[in-house]
Structure 1
Amino acid sequence: MRVEIHGHRGARGVRPENTLPGFAHAVALGVDAIELDVGLSADDVVVLNHDQALSPANLTDTAPAWPGDPAFPYVGKRIRSLTLAQLRTIDAGTRPHEAFTQVPVPGARIPTLTEACALLDATDVTLSVELKTDPTWPLAEIEHFTAATADILTSHDLTHRTRLLAFDWRVLTTARKHHPDFGRVALFERKTLAANTAWLADHPPNDPVAAAASIGATAISPEAALTTPALVDQAHAADLPVIVWTVNTLEDLSRFTAYGADAVVTDYPDRITN
């Protein structure tokens, strides 16, 4: 069985994450899907970034968006509190993440989802778009964010090539209700399956596969530490493909292939081939 290769944040291990050059490199490496993360700016623009706040691990301030901007410096602040003009000043390409062997890409900036779609709609890769929310978000804000994301993808005719991903499963229930043509991937990890979890749209954490099926997920994406042959078999019995994250060695690729996983998410598409 061939396992699909999904480039994590593009090709995070070798190029700056969630950047257009990173996506172009991942496509050139032959990935089946690009996994990317989106947030919402203060002026309601859907932009790419992994965390809800700008991280100093991979981002660097350059200059304020306008002289005397009291919000500057921006790194460390929440994306929802910053406008696109402020976010555009951030250098996203020349501070290699210390955990990886990234090649710097001077001049890379935080892109919008519209720009990512313009790049990727000329390819045949699947888009795995993770909406970065958490249980503290009001439902109305989740609905607004999900609609803004879906509208952009639809305008680029990418609906049937896109899966919406979320740890906060209210995103998935919202997508099922209002944007049913998109694939919906239920992410989970040990943290989100803790007792009294608020991540699973009011479902108990003891059986995440059954919970994911009940909210209309079209696939599950567990962290590698939670992925067992029994979990894969249970998911397949419920007609749910399994996308494992994060898989960075050929040994792990072989193991999850043997389990019957359908896809793996990797930081190193150049290393993980099958």
Structure 2
Amino acid sequence: MTFTGETVELHGHRGARGLLPENTLPGFAHALALGVDAIEFDVGLTADDVVVCNHDQFLSPVNTADTGPVRPGDPLFPYVGKALRDLTLAQVRTVDAGTRRGHHDEDPFVLTQLPVPGTPLPTLAEVCAMLSAAPGVGLSVELKTDPDWPDPEVTRFTAAVAEVLAAFGVTARSKLLAFDWRVLVEARRYAPDAGRVALIRRDTTVPETAWFAGLDHVDPPGAALDIGATALAPEMELASPLLVERAQRLALPVCVWTLNDPADMTRYVGYGVDAIVTDYPDRLRTVLTANGLPVPPPVSPATIPVPN
């Protein structure tokens, strides 16, 4: 991600969460077919140390459902609601992540997301294999930790992610994202060729925050630069023109999330942000085109390997 003022990168949030199931291979494939600069997705670590895609540190009933135990009498079943770190890959694989559940008054994605029943949560290795067929698309990998994690666990997780990226030769076009900035410190050690994106939201920028790895909350762009970040990713409510200008003066590109309303997209294009994360890549493509900005080329579905 580089800022020029003449382009705004399009990042598909959890693939294309507004259109297909989040953090799944069908969702990623759809984002590629629409045309995105990068795919943003979330990862966690299973009990047997496999990196898998999942937004929360547990299996949420909003986007996952049990289908049956991995073996009769498994004491951990049902798996939905359990911490990902307590489940093996085999247990996680039984879960159906292809249908969103919830009431549309609270979850608009229920109305717009096309279900793909029977879809599992993929491993990071499977995602890397898919994106190897789309060399022009970046990987924005968010590592889900929090300040309660012991330092050795943060190190272990970050190293595991870096190992998978390196195995598929995609480190240089990957960025590691985290609210817990200890991840960025470890990413510099284990994946020095990858980008490091400092995520911020309102509850992580409070006084005496535990999220910034001991740095001051008063100047998030300055703190991000000090921690070794290569980009800043604020939530929309924090991404004021002043913050955007401050970050860019420090040579930190600004990637704002998560914009789904075309009016918001247009406003932040006007602020001069460097990238926009959206659940609806199709909408952002329309906005960018209307503003005379280039859009990334679609990737032919025929070239995208999607395992059954």
1:107-118 equivalent positions in 2, closer than 5 A? 107-118=118-129
Q: Sequence identity of aligned pairs in percent?
A: 62
Distance 2:190 2:49 in 1: 19
- 3-state SS, counterpart of residue 164 of structure 2: helix
Q: How does 1:12-27 map to 2 (within 5 A)?
A: 12-27=17-32
Question: Any stretches of 5+ residues in structure 1 without a counterpart?
Answer: none
- 1:177 Cα deviation from its structure 2 partner: 2.7
Shift of 1:96: 4.8
User: Is residue 61–residue 91 contact of structure 1 (8 Å, CA) maintained in 2?
Assistant: yes
Distance 1:148 1:177 in 2: 12
Partner of 1:35: 40
Deviation at 1:180, TM superposition (A): 1.3
Determine which structure has greater relative contact order: mean sequence separation of CA pairs < 8 Å that are 6+ residues apart, divided by chain length. Answer: 2
The reply on whether 1:238 has 2:247 as its aligned counterpart is no
The offset of 1:179, in angstroms, is: 2.3
1:270 counterpart SS class: helix
Q: What's 1:182 paired with?
A: 194
CA distance in 2, matches of 1:258, 1:75: 42
Distance (Å, rounded) in 2 between the aligned partners of 1:225 and 1:115: 34
Which residue number corresponds to residue 83 of structure 1?
88
Contact 2:158 2:190 in 1 (8 A): no
Cα distance between partner residues in 1 of 2:81 and 2:28? 24
Q: Hey, what's the Cα distance between the residues in 2 that align with 1:44 and 1:158?
A: 20
CA offset at residue 253 of structure 1?
Answer: 1.3
Q: Residue by residue, what CA displacement relative to the aligned partner does 1:126-149 show, whole Å, maximum 9, x if unpaired? A: 000000000011111111110100
The CA distance in 2 between the partners of 1:82 and 1:178, in whole Å, is 25
Partner in structure 2 of residue 45 of structure 1: 50
Name the SS of the counterpart of 2:85 in structure 1: helix
> Residue 216 of structure 2 aligns to which amino acid in structure 1?
P
Secondary structure of the residue aligned to 1:271 is: helix
TM-score (norm 1): 0.98
What SS does structure 1 have at the residue aligned with 2:246?
Answer: helix
- For residues 171-205 of structure 1, give each alpha carbon's deviation from its aligned partner in whole angstroms, at most 9, with x where no partner exists: 00111133211100000000111122100010111
CA distance in 2, matches of 1:118, 1:208: 35
AA matched with 2:23: N
- Counterpart Cα distance in 1 of 2:236 and 2:99: 30
What SS is found at the alignment partner of 1:221? strand
Distance 1:271 1:65, change over 3 A: same
Where in structure 2 are there 5+ consecutive unaligned residues? 1-5, 289-308
Superposed CA RMSD: 0.9
1:196 alignment counterpart:
208
1:165 to 169, 173, 177: 177
> 1:84 is aligned with what amino acid?
L
1:268, distance to aligned residue in structure 2 (A): 0.5
Amino acid across the alignment from 1:250: P
Task: Name the CA distance, whole Å, in 1 between partners of 2:125 and 2:189.
Answer: 23
CA deviations on 1:112-167 (whole Å, 9 max, x unpaired) are: 00001111111021000000000011111111110100010011110111000000
Question: How many residues align structurally?
Answer: 274
Whether the 8 Å contact between 2:162 and 2:190 is mirrored in structure 1 is no
Cα pair 2:44 2:52 within 8 Å, conserved: yes
Residue range with higher mean Cα deviation, 94-103 or 177-186: 94-103
What is the TM-score of this pair, normalised by structure 2? 0.87
CA distance in 2: counterparts of 1:217 and 1:243, whole angstroms = 13
Separation in 1, partners of 2:108, 2:211 = 28
Secondary structure of residue in 1 paired with 2:80: coil
Counterpart residue number, 1:61? 66
Deviation at 1:270, TM superposition (A): 1.3
CA distance in 2 between counterparts of 1:31 and 1:178 reads 27
Corresponding residue number in structure 2 for 1:119: 130
Contact kept? 2:180, 2:212, Cα under 8 Å = yes
Higher mean C-alpha deviation, range 189-198 or range 76-85: 189-198
Find the aligned partners of 2:199 and 2:10 in 1 and give their Cα distance.
17
Q: SS of the residue aligned with 1:108?
A: coil
Q: Does 1:2 align with 2:22?
A: no
Q: In 2, Cα distance between the equivalents of 1:250 and 1:2?
A: 17
The answer to which of 171-180 and 188-197 deviates more is 171-180
